[in-house]
Structure 1
């Protein structure tokens, strides 16, 4: 009689262990999937930051060029046209 009780208890504990192992496997799979998604979004975020920084640099350079060309075309000094162009080109090339 005692042996039957122990055998039944063993079977119940094994079933419980299998259930716990299945839950653990499910949790590990879920954690791996979350890690993959987080890694993808992290990489996309970094790419977006890089894209924004590059565009900000391009915008800044464009604004400087705009200012320099505006200075060139609005310059009413007594310089000749050739001298003004050379002066503006030297300013632009210093960027």
Structure 2
């Protein structure tokens, strides 16, 4: 019984250490320094795991995921041509910041 308890604690510790933590931020920025009244807002993700962190746009992530799923679907049902469609607004922040 004691061995089972120790094994369970070790297993739970390994599982919780392998997870990625995701935080949500509202990013406000002014794209044109001459027009300070035009404040843009975008939701951003911050993913932190044991290898580093990554900060990127939620809208861009969703648009990329949707486009990737559509492309994989077309590849599976290959009919001789592949159509790549741009979705609605893929986000205003197109860059990604990573730290390892």
TM-score, normalised relative to structure 1: 0.28
Return the index of the structure with the highest Cα Rg.
1
**Greater helix share, structure number:** 1
**Greater strand share, structure number:** 2
TM-score, normalised relative to structure 2: 0.27
Bigger RCO (CA 8 Å, 6+ sep): 2
